[in-house]
Amino acid sequence: MEEHEGHAVDDASVSYRGSNHDVGPISYRVWTLCLVGFFVNCQPSEAYLTLYLKSVKQLTSEQLDNDVWPYDTYGSFAFLIPVGILAEMCGYRITIGIGLLCRELTRVLLLWSSGVDAMAAMQVTYAGATAVNTVYFSYIYMCVNREHFVQAAPNPTTLTRT
């Protein structure tokens, strides 16, 4: 522990401005979260979901519009508040883990189930996963000290400051 601006802080949590690189886990944590976020939210198949459901799962446009897609919209609405409460009660990491499990359950349902009800359930699990995104995006601010929020905030100059 060292004294920094009148406060005792751990050496690992201090970012040394003026150096050519950020020292300590702040940079590691932020970059790790960015990589996880990239791989979780990189969904190249998303644009082809309707085509897949129509051609492979044999659903009609009417079934998709009336019986499948609304479950994502209303599911996101229904999950948003409970996910925030869950994050505060059980922890951010656990909630993010549950969101990752929802994403995998979405894939399982999408690949190995069929029918309108199964695809509606797939949209509910996807809604649960996307509701956790709010917790994920706020978790980055839990990993850095307040004085480093600007460095952790997503803006174009953050990448050039290292």
In a domain, 26, yes or no: no
In a domain, 56, yes or no: yes
Cβ contacts of residue 83 below 8 Å, gap of 6+? 95, 99, 128, 131, 132, 134, 135
Binning pLDDT at 50, 70 and 90, where does residue 26 land? low
pLDDT digits (tens, 9 = 90+) for 111-154: 999 999 999 999 999 999 999 998 998 887 788 777 777 776 66
**Domain that includes residue 101, residue range:** 45-152
In a domain, 10, yes or no: no
In a domain, 22, yes or no: no
Global pTM reads: 0.74
What's the domain count of the chain?
Answer: 1
Largest CA distance in the chain: 66
In a domain, 76, yes or no: yes
In a domain, 50, yes or no: yes
pLDDT digits (tens, 9 = 90+) for 49-61: 999 999 999 999 9
In a domain, 23, yes or no: no
Token digits of residue 13: 């949590």
Specify which residues 8 forms β-bridges with.
3
In a domain, 3, yes or no: no
The span from the CA of 79 to the CA of 127, in Å, is: 7
pLDDT digits (tens, 9 = 90+) for 1-10: 444 444 444 4
Handedness of CA 99, 100, 104, 106 (dihedral sign): positive
